[in-house]
Amino acid sequence: MLRSQLSQFVHQLPAGRRALALVWEAARSWTLAWGALLVGQGLIPAGQVLLLRALVNRLVARPHWTSIASPALGIAALWIVAQLLSSALSWVRAVQAERVQDQVHGLIHAQALRLDMAFYDHPESYDMLHRARVDAIAQPLALLESLGSLVQNGLGFLVLAGILWTYARWLPLLVVAAGIPGLLLVARHILNEHCWNLEHTSQERRTRYLDWLITERSAAAELRLFGLGAYHRRAFEALRASLREGRLSLVREGAVTELGAGVLAWAGSLAGLGWMLGRTLAGKAGLGDLLLCFQAFQQSQILLRALLEGAGKIYRSLLFVENLDEFLALKAEILSGPSAQPGLPVKDAIRFEGVSFTYPGGFHRALDGFDLEIPRGKVVALVGHNGAGKSTLIKLLCRFYDPDAGRILFDGVDLRALDRDAVQRQIAVLFQDPVHYHATVRENIAFGDLEAASDQARLLEAAADAGAMEPIGRLPGGLEAQLGKWFGGAELSGGEWQRIALARAFFRRASLVILDEPTSSMDSWAERDWLARFRALTAGRTALMITHRFTTAMHADRIHVLDKGRVVESGTHAELVALGGSYAGSWAAQMEEIGHGRVGVA
């Protein structure tokens, strides 16, 4: 067990060095001040013990104010200095904590934005992210504080050990020997605690999810309508009971470990005190010496216990810092191509050639030998059943993923060879489930192109093109109105949120516009109004439209029907209806539904 723990400790030292470098980078001057204050605090206990011996010996030899004034005033002065140092240290630690937390948050956020979309396709990734965000966020500073405490308490312990050494060389060795078993017990307990935390990360995340589900507005309607509140409460309570029992078991183990370490340590101290008491009774030492030894042993045990706790905290911090280090060490695999060519706008066409793709951890191919051409300046629509692979095309075009086989060509150049950032800057996407940013209307639209956020005329034009001016006009404050309930703003309907997201896509003024179900949340009147202006909005741009509504698809220059990751029919709306295939059958069925009033209501 000891060899295993020492091996693991050595393995974690590089992560500890990186964590300390992070603290130094975030708060260099404050860390220097912190170190100086710690050294000052570490020397005070020894000074107090020495002054106390002088005070007692002078009281025994000459009990008068004049003889005890200087050591008494010295003790008082050290007490005042200790209070000042403690207050200053609290302030310095607070500043350090804020700066280091900001630094770690910045690293985690930058890494989360840098990683590929595939990272979020694995449950293990969420466990890793949880451990980095929740468990390890404060550990770099905790590691520094533990090291500082170790140095401070170690310095005080060495001074007191030196005092005991003057009486007998074996006395400090006795104190140390009595503390070693406690150190091993503490290390074993901390390792057990860390292993338990790793094994239960998924359960911790599930309790947070259930807590969010029960308390957030987005799930409130279904929980009430279907009576699911009690069900999810029971699930939360069962998980909490299991986690609580595990933690309490660890606490019990820790208490027993602490008791055992304390008993062993005090046994050594009592042996030393018994020896010193015998010398005092034999007249070989004075009362001040006995009191000094008693104080030295007492303070040594307190400091040794603090040293053991500090070593344990360092061990714990190293274990958690390793989680942060593991997350920050992840590398993105979807990298920008070697070519400086931007790729867009295309001069000829975008082509999919034999593209096959399976999502990480997926069980079937989303695309299988897929071929498609999107000519420059044309509107192409994709229709098909759910799971046919339509939305996957968006992710591949945006290079969130790379195909497993085949190529995506922009004017004959493989997308993987192009400047990825330049390609993405020229793509505007209305996603099927666009983000509802809890920000102002202006910000919601301007997020499409932050560099043009101050262009008022362009903002209004994008809002008008998306049919969003009517809902915006009803909001107090117009473009400056806050949206979303989180910060006291207005809540929009699904269709209104979609129009805001559509305005964001149009505000980007990209050469490739991709619309995933652009009218799914619009009623039939809003859809008719928007489609009447659709061709003008996409003039001069290449557009890819994914939709279930054939009334929307019919406005495209060319329509492709997808099934099981492949194109099975292609043509204009009139050609496909005349063909009498699956498109024609679905068109007829949808027209019948519209005739019965079952389609087009948001």
Where exactly does CATH 3.40.50.300 map onto the chain? 337-426+511-602
The mean per-residue pLDDT over the stretch 452-465 comes to 92
Domain 2-195+251-328 has what CATH class? mainly alpha
Three-state DSSP state, 430 = strand
Reported as type and span, the H/E element at residue 570 is strand 566-571
CB 313 within 8 Å of CB 147? no
Sign of the C-alpha dihedral computed for residues 557, 413, 418 and 327 taken in this order: positive
Higher local confidence (pLDDT), 303 or 424 = 424
* Residue 437 pLDDT > 70: yes
Reported as type and span, the H/E element at residue 592 is helix 582-595
Name the residue type at position 189: H
Where exactly does CATH 1.20.1560.10 map onto the chain? 2-195+251-328
Three-state DSSP state, 466 = coil
Q: What is the CATH number of domain 337-426+511-602?
A: 3.40.50.300
pLDDT band at 465 (very low <50, low <70, confident <90, very high): confident
pLDDT by residue (tens digit) across 156-185? 777 777 777 877 777 777 777 776 776 677
Query: In Å, what is the CA distance from 341 to each residue of 420, 422, 469?
Result: 9, 8, 37
pLDDT the model gives residue 48: 77
**SS3 per-residue string spanning 508-563:** CCCCEEEEECCCCCCCHHHHHHHHHHHHHHCCCCEEEEECCCHHHHCCCCEEEEEE
- In DSSP terms, 558 is beta-bridged to 380
> Phi and psi dihedrals of 518, rounded to 5?
-65, -20
CB atoms within 10 A of CB 449: 19
Q: Angle at the Cα of 108 (from 337 to 434), degrees rounded to 5?
A: 70
Residue of 475, 474, 447, 471 lying closest to 459 (CA atoms): 447
Torsion of CA 236, 241, 244, 248, to 10 degrees: 180
pLDDT the model gives residue 202: 82
pLDDT the model gives residue 11: 57
Rounded Cα distance between 54 and 94, Å, is 38
- Got the DSSP string for 258-298? HHHHHHHHHHHHHHHHHHHHHHHHTTSS-HHHHHHHHHHHH
CB atoms within 10 A of CB 129: 20
Rounded Cα distance between 495 and 461, Å, is 19
Rounded Cα distance between 598 and 591, Å, is 10
Rg (CA), the chain: 35
pLDDT the model gives residue 9: 53
**Residues counted in the chain:** 602
* Residue 545 pLDDT > 80: yes
Sign of the C-alpha dihedral computed for residues 447, 450, 453 and 459 taken in this order: negative
Query: In Å, what is the CA distance from 138 to each residue of 100, 147, 243, 285?
Result: 8, 14, 22, 49
pLDDT the model gives residue 507: 92
Residue of 510, 514, 499 lying closest to 452 (CA atoms): 510
The mean per-residue pLDDT over the stretch 48-63 comes to 74
- In DSSP terms, 382 is beta-bridged to 546, 560
pLDDT band at 8 (very low <50, low <70, confident <90, very high): low
pLDDT the model gives residue 2: 47
pLDDT by residue (tens digit) across 344-369? 888 999 999 999 999 887 778 888 89
Highest mean pLDDT among 244-248, 383-387, 404-408: 404-408
pLDDT band at 446 (very low <50, low <70, confident <90, very high): very high
**Mean pLDDT, the chain, whole residue set:** 82
CB 330 within 8 Å of CB 124? no
Chain mean position to CA 541: 38
- Got the DSSP string for 315-329? HHHHHHHHHHHHHHT
Reported as type and span, the H/E element at residue 157 is helix 139-165
Lowest mean pLDDT among 99-113, 257-271, 378-392, 567-581: 257-271
Name the residue type at position 468: A
- Can you say whether residue 326 is alpha, beta or left, with left for phi > 0 and alpha for psi between -120 and 50 degrees? alpha
